């Protein structure tokens, strides 16, 4: 294994802020009401907000992992239903890094690996995306598909102006 990556931790900023605000609101409001059911409602409401705004995004973030080995890229995602997708380095044609303004400021980005299929394989919001792109370029160069390399060598050894006379032996 060369690297094990998750999406950038920046995705946890707002959920963490919601956690801090919720705990502060619960601590401030709990016990301020005369009726016990009102205090209990504050506690239950605060816990519900913590679960929805902090625990769920945290579990979703923890449920996504990208592993880069010397032979393949493994994409894992999901909490209850796990999805595992593998891509051999020899299947990748080119690698593109896409960054928005915020990603450029923090050094992350989306790494798109074109496999020749309809949709490229996308590693979303990877920290140090340029470094990952360079490493993947090196790994993909080393693991060239032998059949494709032989076919490319055969085509490069033929002269460009070669014509074929069909029907003769």
Give the pLDDT band of residue 36 (cuts 50, 70, 90). very high
> Do 72 and 38 share a structural domain?
no
Residue 28: per-residue pLDDT:
97
Residue 58 shares a structural domain with residue 89? no
Task: For residue 86, give the CATH number of its domain.
Answer: 2.30.29
Distance CA 80, CA 56 (A): 12
CA 1 to chain centre: 17
**In this predicted model, what pLDDT tens digit does every residue of 69-79 receive, in sequence order?**
999 999 999 98
pLDDT at 165 over 70: no
Residue 163 belongs to some domain of the structure: no
Assess if residue 7 is contained within a domain.
yes
DSSP designation for 52? I
User: Same structural domain for residues 7 and 49?
Assistant: yes
Which residue would you say has higher pLDDT here, 118 or 99?
99
d(CA 52, CA 68): 32
Name the residue with tokens 């679960």: 51
Domain count for the chain, please give it: 2
Weakest-pLDDT range from 16-20, 107-111, 151-155? 151-155
CA gap 82, 85 in Å, rounded:
10
Residue of higher predicted confidence among 166 and 7: 7
Q: What pLDDT is stored for residue 79 in this prediction?
A: 85
In terms of Cα–Cα distance, which of 3, 136, 135, 16 is closest to 65? 3
Pair 54, 91 in one domain = no
pTM given for the model:
0.76
Give the pair of three-digit tokens for residue 53.
């705004």
54 and 81 assigned to the same domain = no
CA distances from 17 to 11, 103, 108, 127 (A): 11, 20, 21, 21
List the domain range (segments joined by +) for residue 19: 3-62
The Cα–Cα gap between 84 and 100 comes to 27
Is residue 43's pLDDT more than 80?
Answer: yes
In a domain, 106, yes or no: yes
What is residue 118's predicted lDDT score, i.e. its pLDDT?
76
**Residue 128 φ/ψ, nearest 5 degrees:** 55, 55
Domain shared by 89 and 122, yes or no: yes
pLDDT of residue 116: 81
Alpha carbon 25 to its chain centroid, in Å, reads 34
Question: In this structure, are 20 and 79 located in the same domain?
Answer: no
Q: How confident is the model at residue 50 (pLDDT cuts 50, 70, 90)?
A: very high
103 in a structural domain: yes
CA atoms of 120 and 110, how far apart (whole Å): 11
The pLDDT tens digits for 110-164 are: 999 998 877 889 999 999 999 999 999 998 888 765 666 666 667 666 665 555 5
Cα–Cα distances (Å) from 113 to 30, 50, 154, in that order, read 51, 36, 26
What's the CA gap between 9 and 126, in Å, rounded? 9
Q: In this structure, are 75 and 55 located in the same domain?
A: no
Q: Which two tokens stand for residue 68?
A: 């880069």
Asked which of 22-31, 32-41, 116-125 is least confident by mean pLDDT, the reply is: 116-125
């Amino acid at each position: 294994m060369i690297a094990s990556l998750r999406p950038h931790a920046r995705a946890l900023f707002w959920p963490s802020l919601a956690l801090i605000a919720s705990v502060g609101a619960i601590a401030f409001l709990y016990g301020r009401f005369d009726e016990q059911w009102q205090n209990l409602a504050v506690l239950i409401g605060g816990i519900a907000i913590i679960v929805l705004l902090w625990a769920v995004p945290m579990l979703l973030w923890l449920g996504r992992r990208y592993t880069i080995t010397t032979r393949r890229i493994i994409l894992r995602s999901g909490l209850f239903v796990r999805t595992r997708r593998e891509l051999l380095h020899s299947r990748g044609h080119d690698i593109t890094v896409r960054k928005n303004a915020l990603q450029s400021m923090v050094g992350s980005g989306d790494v798109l690996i074109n496999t020749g299929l309809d949709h490229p394989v996308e590693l979303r919001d990877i920290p140090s995306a340029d470094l990952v792109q360079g490493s993947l370029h090196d790994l993909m160069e080393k693991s060239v598909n032998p059949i494709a390399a032989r076919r490319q060598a055969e085509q490069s050894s033929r002269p460009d102006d070669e014509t074929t006379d069909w029907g003769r032996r």
